[in-house]
Amino acid sequence: MNAHPSAVAESLLAFWAEAGVDAMLLDAPIDRIEAGKFVQPKPPEKKPLIAAARPVVNAGPDISASVAVAQALAVAAQDLDQLKAAIAAFDGCPLKFEGAAHQAVFARGAPDAPLLIIGEGPGAEEDQRGEPFVGRAGQLLDKMLAAAGLTGRVFITNTVFWRPPGNRAPTVTEQAVCAPFLERAIQLVNPRMLLLVGGPAAKSMLKKEEGILALRGRWFEWKSSDEALEIPAMPTLHPAFLLRQPGAKKKAWSDLLTLTERLDRPHRPEG
């Protein structure tokens, strides 16, 4: 059964309205089917029948104010304890109210460590205990560090300090808001090297787009935002990934041995 012409028209108008069309550009309708029967070398007018749909612009959230507050708090922190307190008091990261159930998760380890390890973000156990890498993945990381002779020589933190909902990877926006605190931690610890654990951490710290399998095991230079500090950095696989893919442990172990060998080289005298 053919639909009534008025119903067809109403359906078409509803489609246009849903697409964002809110105006017609011609005063009178034109039968385009009838007009198409004739060959016209040049159309009399170049006005379209209908206006183009309004574009949808998604500029993302404006985080400039939150970043400015984070920068001010980070710079004011004169030691790691003050930095930890500043992070706990900071309300500019949405993760504090979306994923975290208990507290901010800052860091653990030696405050003067030669190696600073940066992961993605805390999980459920980290949220509960207030320290990074204390779950199954953290236990595996500790075993690897011990086997490499790095126990007591590391400072461990993350790119964000509150648990993302469902243990998802942190977003670029969330990492950007927390970045001033992370950079201040690196300045205060002043390590000789960075170990970037997992793809989100490596991409955020190095401003790279490649996946972790392409980045791992390679040396890069991390620079502070003012370029006053430059530190060798190596990405490697996240221990949570190694728990799911035990066959990849050999690659991560090779990365750790390469880093440790460079870390333990004798210092060359300056000057």
**120: its two tokens:** 């993605």
In this prediction, residues 109-130 reach a mean pLDDT of: 97
**Which residues on adjacent β-strands are paired with residue 119?**
158
Domain count of the fold of the chain: 1
pLDDT for position 78: 98
Share of the chain above pLDDT 70, in %: 76
Instruction: Judge whether 54 lies within some domain.
Output: no
User: Kind of pairing, strands 154-158 and 108-109?
Assistant: antiparallel
Torsion angle of the four alpha carbons 88, 74, 155, 136, in this order, in degrees rounded to the nearest 10: 40
pLDDT for position 11: 57
Query: What is residue 55's three-state secondary structure?
Result: coil
Task: Give the Cα separation of 233 and 243 in Å (integer).
Answer: 23
Instruction: Judge whether 211 lies within some domain.
Output: yes
Q: What CATH number should be reported for the domain holding residue 177?
A: 3.40.470.10
In this prediction, residues 124-135 reach a mean pLDDT of: 96
Enter the DSSP assignment of 248: G
Instruction: Judge whether 48 lies within some domain.
Output: no
Element (H, E) at 215: helix 212-215
Q: Is the pLDDT of residue 48 over 80?
A: no
The reported pTM is: 0.77
Instruction: Judge whether 27 lies within some domain.
Output: no
Spell out the long-range contacts of 45-51 with Cβ–Cβ below 8 A and sequence spacing 24 or more.
49/24, 49/25, 50/16, 50/21, 50/24, 50/25, 51/21, 51/22, 51/23, 51/24, 51/25
Structural domain including 161 reads 64-263
Q: Evaluate whether 69 touches 92 at the Cβ level (below 8 Å).
A: yes
Q: Evaluate whether 73 touches 86 at the Cβ level (below 8 Å).
A: yes
